[in-house]
Amino acid sequence: MSGWSDGTRAVHAGLPEPVPGAPFLPGPVFAAPYHLDPVAGPGENGYGRPDNPTRRALEAAIGELEGGAVRAFASGQAAISALLLTVLRPGDTVVLPSDGYFTVRAFAEAALVPLGVTVAYAPTAGPYPSFAGARLVLFETPANPGLDVCDLPAVAAAARAAGALVAVDNTTATPLGQRPLDLGADVVVASGTKALTGHSDVLLGYVATRDTALLDRVTTWRAQTGGVPGAFDCWLAHRSLATVDLRLARQTANAAAVAALLRDRPDVTGVRWPGLESDPAYPVASAQMRRIPGIVSFDLGTAERTERFFAASRLIAAATSFGGLHTSADRRAQWGDDTPPGFLRLSCGVEDTADLVADLTAALDA
């Protein structure tokens, strides 16, 4: 699909050649075992854990958007864990974002440190430690939930010059927001649960890379540990990709309006959206990203004010995921994340912009 624009590529990614009488998107294959050739043995499909045609179609579709080969996992955390445990060995050093998804840090302390892996942390926007001796450097940009942005080409070049493998968590941006493999990364990890599939009805993760040897190791790890998504989840995810360009366009437009509103209100502090020219991430984000995600973060001061905010809003639901069709917000401190008690990560949905702005204004006024 090279040469086509994002919307066209998203609609057609991973689909088979058209055949009269066949569906546009073939249905899920719910097989665990398959019929085998008793002489030649298994072919492309032998057993449902390593083999599923619906999953392969989804992987081909995401791969066209990310620009690399893809292996799908049961969740984003499963994909990140697979990469970390595939690459790292006792005595290795990994550098993780200090302000990224908190479960990755929790996993590192609970699983990697006892294995003898040294874990170092760095903020997404820097300053960065020396990458000398690091086996793997993982960036998350924009960071979840604070929305700082990393200068990927510059920092990835420094990490690779030090001999480190460079991974990027592309969950918040999606491959339509940025393509880390084009910006110097060796591998991408992401949660497809969020804006990529965007309907709040599927758990999904993936690893994308152009490194054949690494892909083979991740594939073997997945087959042996079994963290695969089901056929119907893959079908739902592939169905959802067709509208990702449209959904992201509305979410970004809504985020721009919401960020402008919040920036000018004296009762709101700490507004972050990389698309605002006043945002500290704007210079890098505007140069590096193809579009800014529909996530805005801000601080209402106290947990009690956030409770009143949710009660007063008619459109904004409390939810811990993000990137869906419905606008939602999450008070991250309730999950143990290291954020202030009134900090909210707002995920803009696809509602009409005027309605969302009006509802947000009324909720804040109340």
**Ranges of each domain in the chain:** 6-241, 244-365
Position 360 scores a pLDDT of 98
Cα distances (angstroms) measured from residue 208 to each of 2, 87, 115, 166: 18, 14, 25, 12
At how many degrees (to 10) do helices 244-263 and 353-365 cross? 40
Give residue 225's pLDDT.
Answer: 96
**pLDDT average per 10 residues of sequence, the chain (366 residues):** 89 93 92 91 89 97 98 98 98 97 95 98 96 97 97 97 98 98 98 98 98 98 96 98 98 98 97 98 97 98 97 97 97 88 97 98 96
Tell me, what's the pLDDT at 203? 97
pLDDT attached to residue 180: 98
Q: C-alpha 261: how far from its chain's center?
A: 26
Q: How far is CA 253 from the centre of its chain?
A: 19
- pLDDT attached to residue 303: 96
The residue written with tokens 């009805």 in the block is 201
* pLDDT score recorded for residue 41: 81
d(CA 106, CA 120): 13
Report pLDDT for 1: 66
Contact 310, 357 (CB under 8 A): no
pTM confidence score: 0.96
Of the candidates 355, 335, 354, which has an alpha carbon nearest to the alpha carbon of residue 345? 335
- Quick one: CA torsion of 234, 238, 239, 240, rounded to 10 degrees? 100
- If one looks up domain 6-241 in CATH, what number appears? 3.40.640.10
CA atoms within 13 A on the CB side of 73: 25
Give the per-residue pLDDT at 245: 98
Q: Which CATH superfamily is domain 244-365 in?
A: Aspartate Aminotransferase, domain 1 (3.90.1150.10)
Predicted local confidence at residue 43, as pLDDT: 84
